[in-house]
Chain A
Amino acid sequence: MSDDLKILDDVANSEYKWGFVSNIESDNAPKGLNEDIVRFISAKKNEPEWLLEYRLKAFRHWQTMTEPVWPNVTYPKVDFQDIIYYSAPKPKVQLDSLDDLDPEIKATFDKLGISLEEQKRLANVAVDAVIDSVSVKTTFRETLLEKGIIFSSFSEAVHEHPELVKKYLGSVVPYTDNFYAALNAAVFSDGSFCYIPKGVRCPMELSTYFRINSAGTGQFERTLIIADEGSYVSYLEGCTAPMRDENQLHAAVVEIVSHAEAQVKYSTVQNWYPGDKDGKGGIFNFVTKRGICLGYKSKISWTQVETGSAVTWKYPSVILKGDNSVGEFYSVAVTNNMQQADTGTKMIHIGKNTSSTIISKGISGGRSHNSYRGLVKINKSADNARNFSQCDSLLLGDQCGAHTFPYLEVSNKTAKVEHEATTSKVGEDQIFYCNQRGISTEDAVGLIVNGYCKEVFNQLPMEFAVEAQKLLAISLEGSVG
């Protein structure tokens, strides 16, 4: 159909809107990676000896590892010696209040649509903003502290709550876990830290915005969220990066610990620069995200809307250790042009009566490749475990690919595991039906695609859902429609 072709053409011509570079002075480490760089980063952050030791152990282990090759993605080999591992915006003055924030940084966040002031006044969302791996400002700290909630940059937490950091760092994602997790453990520069005390329901959404700004840098942030017994927190993460011809590496680690009857909801809208329509530039997004449900009735829920990055390699997972614990994964992954995504989840059932739900919606356009890879593992101990997975793929062109690789490993007969997958395209009859009601083809595709993703968008907090829908429209701009 000529309309389809036109749409695809339009999509290919839609542009990344967050591709500006902010003129912020930054403080960089020399390129390359060796023990001295690890020590340099640790020294820069004035870290205690135990953390330096942790980093060095991770670094030494990393040196023995090789890059994983099993994901269904291809990309030029990353030269790990050609990356700047530490880049921090130079603070002009000590930050006492928001007014002291570098105006350029503030302007950057305004452009991103994250007005820290506005957020503070209206949205009741506490924001931690991370530029090039360093936390530049956390809002709302005082309000949260009244409830005993700790929400700060990772570096601050290391100094202010070393006992918590020490106890939980690497407890869910050990540095031995995988190549990028080891790399992150060696060189992580900052990130967010969050602790919700027993029985406290966090009164506002906590949010981190990540931004890669400097050229030649990698971003290696680390997030640690601990929800103590009976607590609740909803956490949001958003990311953008400037347009650059080079590929930049983002290798983050997120660890979540959910104690008995605690609930953590983690939502991501990932919009790293995906490269241009010929696949030049863009972020390599190699991220390890994992949570553990430690106690009875713990719950962790991942929701992600992935529209960015040149190459994505990401499997937010839940270890369901506590009896009756619950894991959820809701995902919309959009790939366009030359993007590649290999994403999904792992649900590891250990406790009794544990249940997990996986809803994955892949949308592929252009010459992109979109793979779902998920593991559901029911251990022998997990009596009455339940899993339901649904993986749908929507194809928007004849040059893209959609792939599903579910692994279902069941070792307990009382388990019930159900998996469904479908692949289809936007139906011409659906588009014509909309046309006949006066809706243009472009709007019709937008409507249909949003309808297709609804189950996932419903899981997002309100403001985020609106943002996600807009993002989806822009990612498929013109195209679909």
Chain B
Amino acid sequence: MLTIKDLKASVEEKQILNGLNFEVKPGEVHAIMGPNGSGKSTLASVLAGREEYEVTGGEVIFNGEDLLEMSPEDRARAGVFLAFQYPVEIPGVSNANFLKTAVNEVRKSKGLEALDSKQFLKIMQEKMKLVEMDKAMTQRSVNEGFSGGEKKRNEIFQMAMLEPSLAILDETDSGLDIDALRIVANGVNALRDGKRSFIVITHYQRLLDYIVPDFVHVLYKGRIVKSGTKELALELEEKGYDWIKEEVDATLNA
């Protein structure tokens, strides 16, 4: 589904990704961990097409298409969803209106008819249950005045509405208390259907207790330096990153 080959990217002239290789097959959940500044959020931003990030080498193939050639909205329409680390506030635009516009744009690109208000409302009500969201939240302006937990829940709710084939969760767990974390994780798990793939970027192993990954990768200095299964995450939790850093730096210096 997603193949990343030798991806290099920089922001403000500073090289962050240094030849990253990575493959995601349908239905897989990949966790990406790594110390601060290793390039985790850069990877998410590059995949979603944020303009400040300049791709300086490599390729990203998504379902047979060159993802890097596509505009951010076309990537979204093709099924790439990014749950933002810092969801953006849009004053005066209700969540419902925002999502209806988005859902119908995505449908249009697939040649489907736009949903009318009634159909949309019905789907929305179903999906709201997934993240235990109450109705009032859909009438509030997008993310405006939302607490940290509400914002993250809203991201997962949007994901449920847009039904992407690949969801990238960029530190969706950071700043959440354990209840909110559980809600968010339940939402994600409900959307695991064996076909939809996830890239879960996180700092903390505890998220992976709730969202159990198929693979865990460690990102350091802009490339994946270690891959394993969920046990790797536990090991990292216990031992920190220093041992990996030492290993990598030793190889680099050798």
B109 within 8 A of A: yes
Q: How far is the CA of A441 from the CA of B49 in the complex (A)?
A: 13
Chain B residues, Cβ within 8 Å of A454: 92-93
Residue pair A429, B88 in contact (C-beta under 8 Å): yes
Q: Which of A418-470 contact B (CB under 8 A)?
A: 427-430, 432-441, 443, 447-448, 450-455
Q: Which residues on the B side are within 8 Å of A443 (C-beta)?
A: 101, 105
In the complex the two chains form, what is the Cα distance from A1 to B5 in whole Å? 28
Closest 5 CB pairs of A and B: A451-B92, A451-B93, A435-B72, A454-B92, A438-B76
**Contact residues, A236-266 vs B (CB, 8 A):** none
B73 near A452 with CB under 8 A, answer no
Within the assembled complex, what's the spacing in Å between the Cα atoms of A435 and B70? 11
Contact indicator B106/A447 (Cβ below 8 Å): no
User: Shortest Cβ distance from A299 into chain B, in angstroms?
Assistant: 25
Give the docked Cα–Cα distance between A269 and B87 (Å). Answer: 35
Residue numbers in B under 8 Å from A452 (CB-CB): 91-92
> Is B121 on the interface with A (CB-CB < 8 A)?
no
Residues of A within 8 A of B (CB): 1, 427-430, 432-441, 443, 447-448, 450-455
> Shortest distance in angstroms between A477's beta carbon and chain B's nearest beta carbon?
17
**Does the CB pair B105–A435 fall under 8 Å?**
no
Contact B92 A453 (CB under 8 A): yes
Q: Which of B82, B91, B92, B97 contacts A436 (CB 8 A)?
A: B82
A438→B75 CA distance, assembly (Å): 8
B201–chain A nearest beta-carbon distance, Å: 15
Q: State in angstroms the CA–CA spacing of A435 and B82 once bound together.
A: 11
Give complex CA distance A461, B150 in Å. Answer: 33
B96 contacts A by Cβ under 8 Å? no
Residues 88-109 of chain B: 1 if any A CB is under 8 Å from the residue's CB, otherwise 0? 1111110001110110011001
Contact of A437 with B98 at beta-carbon distance under 8 Å, contacts A432-B72, A451-B141 already known: yes
Which residues from B are CB-within-8-Å of A441? 73
Q: Smallest CB-CB separation from B48: which chain A residue?
A: A436
Question: Which residue on A lies nearest to B93, using beta carbons?
Answer: A451
Of all chain B residues, the one with the shortest Cβ separation from A435 is B72
B73 pairs with A435, CB closer than 8 A: yes
New contact pairs (9) apart from A451-B90, A454-B93, CB-CB < 8 Å:
A428-B51, A434-B73, A437-B76, A437-B162, A438-B109, A439-B102, A448-B93, A450-B92, A451-B92
- The answer to the question of B84 belonging to the interface, with a C-beta cut-off of 8 Å to chain A, is yes
Q: Are B72 and A447 in contact (CB under 8 A)?
A: no
Let me know if B77 and A438 touch, CB within 8 A: yes
Cβ proximity bits B7-22 to A, threshold 8 Å, 1 near / 0 not:
0000000000000000
Given the known interface contacts A447-B101, A451-B141, the answer about A436 and B72 at a Cβ–Cβ threshold of 8 Å is yes
Q: Nearest residue in B to A454 (C-beta to C-beta)? A: B92
A434 partner residues in chain B, CB cutoff 8 A: 73, 90, 98, 102
CB distance from A42 to the nearest CB of B (A): 49
Contacts of A1 in B (CB 8 A): 51
Expressed in whole angstroms, the Cα–Cα distance for A174 and B106 within the complex equals: 58
Cβ-defined partner of B92 (8 Å) among A427, A439, A440, A455: A455
Of all chain A residues, the one with the shortest Cβ separation from B78 is: A438
Q: List 21 interface pairs A-B (beta carbons < 8 Å), by A numbering.
A: A430-B88, A432-B51, A432-B88, A433-B87, A433-B88, A434-B73, A434-B90, A435-B72, A436-B73, A437-B76, A437-B99, A437-B102, A437-B105, A437-B158, A439-B73, A439-B101, A443-B105, A447-B97, A451-B90, A454-B92, A454-B93
